[in-house]
Amino acid sequence: MKTILALEDGTIFEGQHFGAPGECIGEVVFNTSMTGYQEVLTDPSYKGQIVTMTYPLIGNYGCNVEDFESSGPKVEGFIVREYSSYHSNWRGNFSLGDFLEKHGILGIQGVDTRALTKRLRIHGVMNGIISTEDLDTASLVAKAQAFPGLEGTDLVKDVTCQTPYLWGTDALTMREDEHQEKQVDLQLPTLNHKRRELHPKFNVVAMDFGAKMNILRRLSLYGCKITVVPAHTSAEEILSLNPDGIFLSNGPGDPIDVPYAVETVRRLIGTKPIFGICLGHQILGLAFGGVTYKLKFGHRGANQPVKHLATGRVEITAQNHGYCVDIDSLTGKNITITHINLNDDTLEGIQHEELPIFSVQYHPEASPGPHDADYLFARFIELMQAEREK
């Protein structure tokens, strides 16, 4: 089925449909990961976005019941160079096309993703539309131009949990199995078996701004009992759970659009050890009085080089964000810059000079991606242990 992708600047790409037919609109971005398309599709941080995969062949290992990062796809649409309708992998349970079709996600293949990515790099991310229904290019461009975009929209409310739950017990961990959703065991093997705790030692409250499941798995494997709470939960409600530490998750959109979360985190500063990643990192930066801004095309992929300034070590990291905390805005606020992106020198990590608080812009749990930054979970454990021993 002929399918058209139109960008707001008038650029047109023609391709063929896979997944669900129809029409979708959103912010067009690109991801440079070579694998992990299922994790990308189900990452809540992509809410409101149409994702382009730069790797040319997508779908060859299918999808499975284990590699979900949420209850289902959160992207608005999916763009690939070549879709493999035939999948072959011992873990594969169903094809990528069937997965997208079931969840109503429109995919387009046959697109020159190299040309599309170069355009987004030069001109920045922009609004776009994919359609199998309206093949009038002028009409599609007009729709893309009329789309208000994501700025000023609270996307977190669409992906956060609605009620608190205890991870790993009463959490509804919805997965695919013969095209049916069911509750499954989410335990994964740890990279360091010495760190695995059979009985949790620390109570952690995770503020869910769109948390990936693998983040919660890693915290669990490091000995944490995790209570996941909605993004709108107040500081008083969080502290009433008597946590040893507080985790601020990843999530979609502009941190400026969730002022309630910024205010909650501001009230939590100085009460418990805090660890934030991605959107949680940006919210923490705002809570400290910093400023955020939108990147031209963002950092999305599993190959982003980050320098740990204290050690000089370079970590290859998994990232997915379009906003960043301005380094200069944190001057004079008792904040130490800990990590820097080596591609563009943007901020990747901070820690408070006196309080047990730190955050990073990237994903230490990866999924997909390298595990260079897994040590950050151990650091969070150490901070909670130190506070307990005071």
Q: What is the pLDDT of residues 289-325, one digit of tens each?
A: 999 999 999 999 999 999 999 999 999 999 999 999 9
Q: Are residues 78 and 175 in the same domain?
A: no
Active-site hit among 24, 63, 278, 324:
278
Among 363, 252, 349, smallest CA distance to 304 is for 363
Active-site hit among 299, 339, 352, 363:
363
pLDDT over threshold 90, residue 286: yes
The answer to whether residue 298 sits within a structural domain is: yes
Q: Are residues 160 and 141 in the same domain?
A: no
Q: What is the pLDDT of residues 352-367, one digit of tens each?
A: 999 999 999 999 998 8
Query: How much is the average pLDDT of 369-374?
Result: 92
Q: What is the pLDDT of residues 140-184, one digit of tens each?
A: 999 999 999 999 999 999 999 999 999 975 433 433 333 333 333
How many domains is the chain partitioned into structurally? Answer: 2
Q: Is 224 a catalytic residue?
A: no
Q: What is the pLDDT of residues 313-323, one digit of tens each?
A: 999 999 999 99
Q: Which residues lie below 8 Å from residue 381, measured CB to CB, with a gap of 6+?
A: 202, 222, 223, 224
How deeply is 150 buried, as exposed, middle or buried, from its count of CB atoms within 10 A (0-12, 13-18, 19+)?
buried
Query: How much is the average pLDDT of 335-340?
Result: 98
Among 247, 368, 379, smallest CA distance to 308 is for 379
The answer to whether residue 151 sits within a structural domain is: no
Q: Is 263 a catalytic residue?
A: no
pLDDT over threshold 50, residue 25: yes
Q: Is 17 a catalytic residue?
A: no
Per-residue pLDDT at 242? 96
Q: What is the pLDDT of residues 183-241, one digit of tens each?
A: 333 333 333 333 444 578 999 999 999 999 999 999 999 999 999 999 999 999 999 99
**What are 93's two structure tokens?**
């349970």
Q: Are residues 311 and 359 in the same domain?
A: yes
Q: Are residues 200 and 137 in the same domain?
A: no
CATH of residue 71 = 3.50.30.20
Cα distances from 85 to residues 13, 92, 99, 158, in angstroms, run: 21, 13, 11, 31
How deeply is 133 buried, as exposed, middle or buried, from its count of CB atoms within 10 A (0-12, 13-18, 19+)?
exposed
The answer to whether residue 122 sits within a structural domain is: yes
Active-site hit among 8, 39, 76, 365:
365
Range of the domain at 56: 2-146
Domain limit, last residue, from 146, 167, 198: 146
Task: Name the percent of the chain lying above pLDDT 90.
Answer: 89
Q: Are residues 335 and 190 in the same domain?
A: yes
Using an 8 Å Cβ cutoff, are 284 and 14 in contact?
no
Q: Are residues 282 and 382 in the same domain?
A: yes
For residue 390, name the pLDDT band (cuts at 50, 70, 90).
confident
Per-residue pLDDT at 368? 86
Domain limit, last residue, from 123, 146, 169: 146
Q: Are residues 69 and 184 in the same domain?
A: no
Domain limit, last residue, from 114, 146, 178: 146
